[in-house]
Structure 1
Amino acid sequence: MGRGQQTPIVPMGERLTDAALPRTHWRKRAQLSSLGDYADTFLANAGFDRAPWLVVAFAAGIALWFGLSGPVAWVCATLIAFICASAGWLVWAKKIARNHLRLAVTTLLLCFIFGVAWIWIRSEMVGAEALKNPQIATVKARILERIEQPAADRLRLVLATRDLGDGQASKIRVNVPLDKDDPALREGAVIRAQVRLMPPAPPALPGGYDFARTAWFQRFVATGSVLGDVTVLKNSRKLSFFKGLQRFISGHVRSRLEGAPGHIAAAFASGDRGAISEADEDAMRDAGLTHLLSISGLHVSAIIAATYFLALKLLGLVPWLALRCRLPLLAAAISALAGIGYTLLTGAEVPTVRSCIGAVLVLLALAIGREPLSFRMVAVAAFVVLLLWPETLVGPSFQMSFSAVMAIIALHSAAPIRRFLAPREESWPVWMGRRVAMLLLTGIVIELALMPIVLFHFHRAGVYGALANVIAIPLVTFISMPLIALALLFDLVGLGGPVWWCAGLSLDVLLAIAHFTAGQPGAVKMLPVMGTGTFALFILGGLWLGLWRGRVRLLGSAPIAVATIMVLSTPRPDLLITGDGRHVAITGEGEHLLSLRDTRSDYTRDNLLELSGMDGGLRPLANWPGSECSRDFCVVSLRRGDRDWHILMARNREQVSERGLAAACERADIVIASRFLPRSCRPRWLKADRRMLLQTGGLSISLDDRTIRSVADMQGQHGWSPYRSHAERPVMKSLF
């Protein structure tokens, strides 16, 4: 001991009290009580895989780039993250005890910065400026892609042309009526046609599908339709092998199986969904079975798993190979080639490529004797996809597929589940019952994991999807797809007829399940638009539950519980106004959604119903007793909170007396019109006319708290926004 310090003397038999402890112990306890030391100790002893969190930070940077409004906000976010990373590294450089915390903070923030920078670079590199105004033009173009959609009675062509005014190569997408189809209209052909073109449409309402964003990254400058006949100037050369094979298989399958089963079988065999009817699509969606129609993880995994099993068994029959080669490695290579071939055959869409990457990683893990299903494998697959297509992060396909895989891994890695599935002495019925129960539990967990994503993007979710998937997934994986493959194989020798009959029967059962489930009372739950902050809480809670280990993972249920309360308490907007001002919807007046106009557009009707969170159908205002409608205007009084709101809505664009209009505007709180209104029209609160809507896009209005959400706020100053040159964009105005 140092000079001046004395050891406390404690009499024999007496208890050593805190007062008798040396002060150095108090200093150590104070040091250990610091937040930094606790965090470092926690990270050191957590025993979890750290790599997935780096991908999460990378993805968070991408997501924040989409969420923030423009370049100033993006630069500020990266600067703040860089300053925090540098400060953490420098401040904790001499604190060896906090090395884990220093590495975690620094690497996560650097990955976050990389995510922001990468998606910004990607947007600038691939983004295509949209056509400024609608136009009718005669174009000479080369066909890049042919998409057959007989269910919609049309053919869709993706074209490259230089005839849109600036002389630069432009990519457009046009619809051709099916009666104008020509076998010569295929990839590589040069055509001339008169087309009506429109800029890619932004969302009609806040929270709606943003096709303008999708078109930006796919380089579409315009979409539209063909007027009149299409002239083929130059026939295409021979189709690529996979394109030709895809169309041959699709046509062959539909020739062998008629009706809806044949259309679905063609989707499974070749990825061609164009012939599936809208009624069947809707039933599959409301039953939670849409994922079965999109070639993704389930289909690729089934192909690869079947090929791996068959290859392993067949290779084992060759003694020379069995004695000299590692059969699992050979089987993995063969099944990987089968998966890649199936991906190319079905069009190599981003979801299919993503699933193929994940499946190949699983095969690689099996070949080298590693754990095939792990969060690190999922993280590697996600990182590869985000490097190639970072924009897919904000799409439902990426989020749903990776969430489902993570939910399965998290569930099956939990200690209680491992004990439940552990091998034991039991009868065959008990063993089967255990597996069926596990299948049902897995379906429920996946459904719960996907529910926030589905509600955020589509504002509706199938309530009974878990129960339907318990039957549908095994049916498709172990019966329908193997039967289709066998039927195609037997057709080589002309014996596929009976197998096609069995395959059609299984697909009839699948459709019956979909229509029965979708037709049940309460099968579909609809909610208003979920805030971005609420969705972020769901994602954060799900990641915490999945990636941590031990009891600390249960802390992830806290943000999920908060987000659930926020979703259930989210009020419906009182008014919805589309970007063109033609369609106005009013909620809160019964089970029906009141509509200014009775629209024949299914797209507009679905948007109004879904974004209002109502499923009772539309009711024209002119037929509602609480409104007063003339040929030119409708007047409605709504009681919200402690006051009445008087709303004046224009029904057409015809000229009216300016003096009479000004007097009517003075009596109204809100005036809505699809045309420019004179400055003399001065309502008490809001004038949503053509002039305002050109700057804001569609509006969602809550009268109780006088909140207005606009499409312009949602799109910010990103390259695809048609509103970016107008008023200042609030950065986080509508976060929650």
Structure 2
Amino acid sequence: MAGRGRGLDRGEDAVIGVSERSLFAPLPTSPLPTSPPEKRPGNDPSRAELPSSSPPARAGLVERVRKRIGPISLPRLRHGVAVAADLELDRGICFLLVPVCLAVGAIAYFSLAAEPDFARLIALVVLIGFCALVSRSWAKTHLCFMAAFLCTLGLLAAKVETWRAGTQVLGSEISTQITGRVVSLDQMETGRIRLTIDVVSTARPKLRYMPRRVRLSARKIPADMTAGSLISGYAKLLPPTGPVRPDSYDFSFDSYFAGIGGSGFFLGNPRIVAADDKEVPLPARVSSSIENAREAIAEHIRSIVGGAEGEIAAALIVGVRAGIPDEINEAMRRTGIYHIISISGLHMALVAGTVMGLLRGAFALFPDLSARRPVKKYAAAAALLSIAAYLVISGVVVAAERSFIMLAVMLIAVLFDRAALTMRNLAISAIAVIIVSPHEVIGPSFQMSFAATAALVGAYAGWADHRAGQTRSPPPKRSLPGFLTRKILHSAGGLAMTSIIAGSATALFAIWHFQRVSPLSLFANLAIMPIVSVVMFLAVASALLMPFGLDWPALYVMGKGLTAMIAISAWISQRSPLDAVGLISRESVILVAIALVIATMATTWLRLAALPFALAGLLTVSQARAPDVLISEDARLIAVPIGGGELAVSRARPNEFTVDNWKRAVKSESIIVPEVFNKGEGQFDLAHAADLPSGAPFYCVEGVCLARHPSGAIIAHVEDRKDAWKACAFANLIVIDDATGYDPCHNPLVLVITKRQLARKGSAAVFFDGQSAIAPATVSFAVDSPYRPWHAKRAFSREARGLPPYRKPERPADSPAVQ
């Protein structure tokens, strides 16, 4: 019995240790199957079939390859493709493509210019499904219809999610009295407290279109305020902002699917209002209890560790990361290790691995029990429960939820004696994420996470197949120092290859979304990941010891490890070159994504089809043109690249987040604030605006700011529409920061953009003709009309309706009494 148990355990390890593709038929010995040679004079079939592994010594590499492959012809190539395609189908590539088709449908939905109708979508799904059903006799046609059916299912799933979200978004900024229940509290690095509130009522004025959930910041809150408290306070509410430039991250899109209908700040300190807890629904009470437990654990960690290390420790254990200092966040972004802070697959895997390792080590102390029982399944079940608890205590954020699904599928595969690390399991987790949250498909988190995981799984499977086909001799006996050195080098090499593979798979997605790369990320990950592994082990240990009050030694050592991590990231960040790389084309990202799908999912020589897509993607990277002028959606800020890595802005104190995004987009290193001149001093006069030097920063006088682009075009920023006509004589672009403004020039060579246009269409990017500054400029806005549901609120602001800012009416003087 003992031998049988050990044999079963080794069998389980064998299943886990090989790739899924090795369970199927072996690959053909040649990339292209050899067709029977033609019998003609001078052609001996037996000679053609002789092995070519021993070519004459004088034959070069090309000759050997030609003899190995044989003559290439179109019929033979077609036959080879058909055989390889059949083998791919036998190995289950159709199932791997299911999440790809669903993702294509979801992306197509969010890329539509107008909101599709529910009835038409359902009719389209039924029609294509019926066609797929009746075409089962024709294999190729059936596959095409099934792919189309899955794409329409993804499109329908995205439509259902949008309808289910139905977030009521604030249309315009307003100040009102808010009464609501606290959902969560976050202590920010600036000292303010960020509150997420479910709104119960509003007053002074009472909002007719009241958002159900808002996010507000406060300078100070009562000491006894917790999640679930009913609070009240006067606050200024703002609608969610749109993209800071065209094709950038859309905050209103994210807020819509997060259920956040507005944001802002309290004009005073909020106060607690007495309420009857019986009126609170059970799900809200459970959520409040979990949130309070998270906050209590975070405060306990801060009290023991303290400083920035305590904030990072709280982020790793309970997902509370609002208090991490900005300079540490920036250092980790520049070094490419910010993924350590966000609870994702790395943390889930480390937690599961730690629990499984501890339990299997404990079971090994009882050989009889380990021989008779499937202890690996017991450990996998415990690991599954541990990551489920970790998901709940970390706040059920989207990245952690997705990572939990991926790892849960793998652990469940272990419970059913299936290979854990396979592309099929990754496909199952991707299907679950897409069905639950289709909007995540167009976000950087989903794209980078699944791209890295797919690349690593594919590389692991290929390496496992390569190793399985080799005969290995027993390793020679080594001394203990030699053994340790070999293990360290193997671990470092594995970690380096993991970083290279994952970094290569996600590089273009990171550039597309963030316009930045981390040149020293490989060295940073090699230096920091061993520390992170120890830190996460201590985090698990502290969580297990915390109920008994014995967690302080683990937290103390964890803090020391985080101190080392912060120091290393800061040292590497100071030596990292500029990480801003500018914009890349959308076509390049699509082509590289197609190449990644083919390379990771194909198991035959058909994976070579990824090369032309990857090459085309790399060749089209630089086809995106950087904007010549960037304009914020509130018309208050303009930025002009003036050369030399400098970005001229129209305000002395611009929005830091917006300017940082613009700097990365146009590859600028510093900003140049405007020079302001007083009227009548004679230092600068609008009459001589045409004499501005090329590449000059903004010069402001009389409510008008002027700058000259290196192409020679002049940009004017006007605060009052009454002054806009002054710039018509010399400006190529006029931006009017007045919702009541209009085009006073009536000149097709002068581009006029008003505050009303920006309020309705979002931020803008302007492009000048590179050949002539006289040619009319072109403009691209961030938001297209007709509006999608997450942009519908734009039509209701005062600026979008061409109205001036709201002003309280002055109280009329008391009229004389009537005699």
Q: Same fold (TM over 0.5)?
A: yes
Match of 2:745 among 654, 677, 681: 681
Describe the shift of the 1:603–1:39 C-alpha distance in structure 2 as closer, same or farther (beyond 3 A).
Answer: same
Deviation at 1:513, TM superposition (A): 1.8
Q: Contact 2:222–2:271 at 8 Å: present in 1 too?
A: no
Deviation at 1:172, TM superposition (A): 2.9
Q: Secondary structure of the equivalent of 1:450?
A: helix
Which is worse superposed, 497-506 or 271-280? 497-506
Aligned to 1:590: 644
Q: Contact 1:161–1:170 at 8 Å: present in 2 too?
A: no
Q: Secondary structure of the equivalent of 2:509?
A: helix
Describe the shift of the 1:316–1:663 C-alpha distance in structure 2 as closer, same or farther (beyond 3 A).
Answer: closer
- Give CA-to-partner distance per residue, 1:359-387, whole Å, 9 cap, x none: 12111222222111111101111111111
- Give CA-to-partner distance per residue, 1:328-367, whole Å, 9 cap, x none: 2222111111110111111111211211121121112222
How many Å separate the matches in 2 of 1:172 and 1:58?
A: 30
- Give CA-to-partner distance per residue, 1:114-154, whole Å, 9 cap, x none: 01111012101212131122111112222233333244532
- Give CA-to-partner distance per residue, 1:589-634, whole Å, 9 cap, x none: 2210111222243223213213323233344366995445423223
Aligned to 2:759: 694
Deviation at 1:87, TM superposition (A): 7.2
Aligned to 1:340: 388
Deviation at 1:431, TM superposition (A): 4.8
Deviation at 1:277, TM superposition (A): 0.8
Q: Secondary structure of the equivalent of 1:462?
A: coil
1:222 aligns with 2:262: yes
Match of 1:121 among 160, 164, 185: 160
Amino acid at match of 2:247: G
Amino acid at match of 1:270: V
Aligned to 2:58: none
Describe the shift of the 1:272–1:679 C-alpha distance in structure 2 as closer, same or farther (beyond 3 A).
Answer: closer
Deviation at 1:679, TM superposition (A): 4.2
Percent of residue pairs bearing the same amino acid type: 21
Amino acid at match of 1:694: A
How many Å separate the matches in 1 of 2:522 and 2:465?
A: 19
How many Å separate the matches in 1 of 2:126 and 2:77?
A: 22
Aligned to 1:664: 727
Match of 1:446 among 502, 505, 522: 502
Q: Secondary structure of the equivalent of 1:687?
A: strand
Q: Secondary structure of the equivalent of 1:587?
A: strand
Deviation at 1:287, TM superposition (A): 1.0
Q: Contact 1:287–1:523 at 8 Å: present in 2 too?
A: no
Q: Secondary structure of the equivalent of 2:643?
A: coil
Describe the shift of the 1:433–1:78 C-alpha distance in structure 2 as closer, same or farther (beyond 3 A).
Answer: farther
Which is worse superposed, 582-591 or 231-240? 231-240
Alignment coverage as a number of residue pairs: 685
- 1:406-445 correspondence to structure 2 within 5 Å: 406-415=454-463, 418-419=466-467, 425=475, 427=478, 428=483, 429-445=485-501
Amino acid at match of 1:334: A
Describe the shift of the 1:365–1:457 C-alpha distance in structure 2 as closer, same or farther (beyond 3 A).
Answer: same
Q: Contact 2:312–2:341 at 8 Å: present in 1 too?
A: yes
Q: Secondary structure of the equivalent of 2:316?
A: helix
Match of 1:710 among 760, 764, 781: 781
Describe the shift of the 1:150–1:13 C-alpha distance in structure 2 as closer, same or farther (beyond 3 A).
Answer: closer
How many Å separate the matches in 1 of 2:106 and 2:328?
A: 35
- 1:221-370 correspondence to structure 2 within 5 Å: 221-234=261-274, 241-317=289-365, 321-322=369-370, 325-370=373-418
Aligned to 2:706: 635
Aligned to 2:656: 602
How many Å separate the matches in 1 of 2:521 and 2:672?
A: 27
Q: Secondary structure of the equivalent of 1:137?
A: strand
How many Å separate the matches in 2 of 1:558 and 1:42?
A: 18
Amino acid at match of 1:170: P
Match of 2:541 among 469, 482, 486: 486
Describe the shift of the 1:688–1:499 C-alpha distance in structure 2 as closer, same or farther (beyond 3 A).
Answer: same
TM-score using structure 2 length: 0.76
How many Å separate the matches in 2 of 1:393 and 1:13?
A: 57
Describe the shift of the 1:270–1:168 C-alpha distance in structure 2 as closer, same or farther (beyond 3 A).
Answer: same
Describe the shift of the 1:102–1:515 C-alpha distance in structure 2 as closer, same or farther (beyond 3 A).
Answer: same
Deviation at 1:63, TM superposition (A): 0.8
Q: Contact 2:414–2:420 at 8 Å: present in 1 too?
A: yes
Describe the shift of the 1:300–1:259 C-alpha distance in structure 2 as closer, same or farther (beyond 3 A).
Answer: same
- Give CA-to-partner distance per residue, 1:29-65, whole Å, 9 cap, x none: xxx9699988755421334532120110001100111
Q: Contact 1:671–1:688 at 8 Å: present in 2 too?
A: yes
Describe the shift of the 1:722–1:586 C-alpha distance in structure 2 as closer, same or farther (beyond 3 A).
Answer: farther
Aligned to 2:773: none
Aligned to 2:561: 506
- 1:507-656 correspondence to structure 2 within 5 Å: 507-528=562-583, 530-620=584-674, 626=694, 627=696, 629-640=700-711, 644-650=712-718, 652-653=719-720, 655-656=722-723
How many Å separate the matches in 2 of 1:637 and 1:322?
A: 77
Amino acid at match of 1:568: S
Which is worse superposed, 680-689 or 484-493? 484-493
How many Å separate the matches in 2 of 1:417 and 1:521?
A: 38
Describe the shift of the 1:109–1:499 C-alpha distance in structure 2 as closer, same or farther (beyond 3 A).
Answer: same
Q: Secondary structure of the equivalent of 2:342?
A: coil
Which is worse superposed, 546-555 or 448-457? 546-555
How many Å separate the matches in 1 of 2:693 and 2:42?
A: 86
Describe the shift of the 1:545–1:76 C-alpha distance in structure 2 as closer, same or farther (beyond 3 A).
Answer: farther
Describe the shift of the 1:167–1:40 C-alpha distance in structure 2 as closer, same or farther (beyond 3 A).
Answer: farther
Q: Contact 2:170–2:793 at 8 Å: present in 1 too?
A: no
How many Å separate the matches in 2 of 1:700 and 1:133?
A: 24
Deviation at 1:716, TM superposition (A): 6.0
Aligned to 1:58: 102
- 1:713-728 correspondence to structure 2 within 5 Å: 713=784, 717-722=787-792
Deviation at 1:307, TM superposition (A): 1.0
How many Å separate the matches in 1 of 2:343 and 2:791?
A: 31
Aligned to 1:177: 218
Q: Contact 1:596–1:621 at 8 Å: present in 2 too?
A: no
Q: Contact 1:304–1:336 at 8 Å: present in 2 too?
A: yes
Q: Contact 2:353–2:383 at 8 Å: present in 1 too?
A: yes
Amino acid at match of 1:699: A
Deviation at 1:569, TM superposition (A): 4.1
Q: Secondary structure of the equivalent of 1:302?
A: helix
Q: Contact 2:721–2:736 at 8 Å: present in 1 too?
A: no
Which is worse superposed, 79-88 or 394-403? 79-88
Q: Contact 1:151–1:278 at 8 Å: present in 2 too?
A: no
Describe the shift of the 1:663–1:246 C-alpha distance in structure 2 as closer, same or farther (beyond 3 A).
Answer: closer
Q: Contact 1:144–1:160 at 8 Å: present in 2 too?
A: no
Deviation at 1:664, TM superposition (A): 3.3
Q: Contact 2:637–2:654 at 8 Å: present in 1 too?
A: no
Aligned to 1:732: none
Describe the shift of the 1:475–1:696 C-alpha distance in structure 2 as closer, same or farther (beyond 3 A).
Answer: same
How many Å separate the matches in 1 of 2:145 and 2:790?
A: 33
Q: Contact 1:203–1:211 at 8 Å: present in 2 too?
A: yes
Aligned to 1:9: none
How many Å separate the matches in 1 of 2:676 and 2:616?
A: 41
When the two chains are superposed, the root-mean-square deviation of aligned CA atoms in Å is 3.5
TM-score using structure 1 length: 0.84
Amino acid at match of 2:175: I
- 1:446-485 correspondence to structure 2 within 5 Å: 446-477=502-533, 479-485=534-540
How many Å separate the matches in 2 of 1:161 and 1:671?
A: 44
Q: Secondary structure of the equivalent of 1:170?
A: coil
Amino acid at match of 1:191: I
